[in-house]
A = this chain, B = another copy of it.
Amino acid sequence: MITTELFVKMTIDRWNGSIANVNKHLNALTDEQLQKEIAPGKNRGTYLLGHLIAVHDDMLKLLDMREKLYPELSEPFIQYADKVVEPTPTASDLRKMWEKQNGWLQEKFAKMKPEEWFEKHTAVSEEDFMKEPYRNKLNIIITRTSHLQYHSGQIVLLN
């Protein structure tokens, strides 16, 4: 039987799988390795980790869950490219922020009822949502999982 619960499980399982996968890569790297560029002249691992935390923090607002945990990360890790704003948090600081954020998200996601994922996210108007019902909270998870996988394929290069 095709149920809302089934579809939500498929989407959230993929999110959780992507987080577990990037954690496996991150845990295999020393802080020194994480501070290196993924390829000559490209972003550093620490920038990518800070970028993921900042993007997932924005997601908390889009999902109408809570204010950002780390509003100070938007400027150095979303607004600006790597190596523009210095100093930024250390590799060790970023790891702690990432773990705390993931713990929070995991707990919150586990409490969501399947139907709640199909509510509109906060960046779409009621009027637009009537016409475009796919602009829901679950779609935010779908697009952010894609984003996470994209950068995960870069972080793995540090090893």
Contacts and interface: CB of A to CB of B under 8 A. Distances in A.
Interface residues of A, number: 34
Work out how many copies of this chain go into the complex: 2
A100 interface: no
Which applies to chain A's interface (DSSP): helix, strand, loop or mixed? helix
A157 B7 contact: no
A40 B41 CA distance: 12
A138 B39 contact: no
B152 A14 contact: no
Interface stretch (A70-78, A83-91, A102-110, A141-149): A141-149
A153 B39 CA distance: 12
A112 interface: no
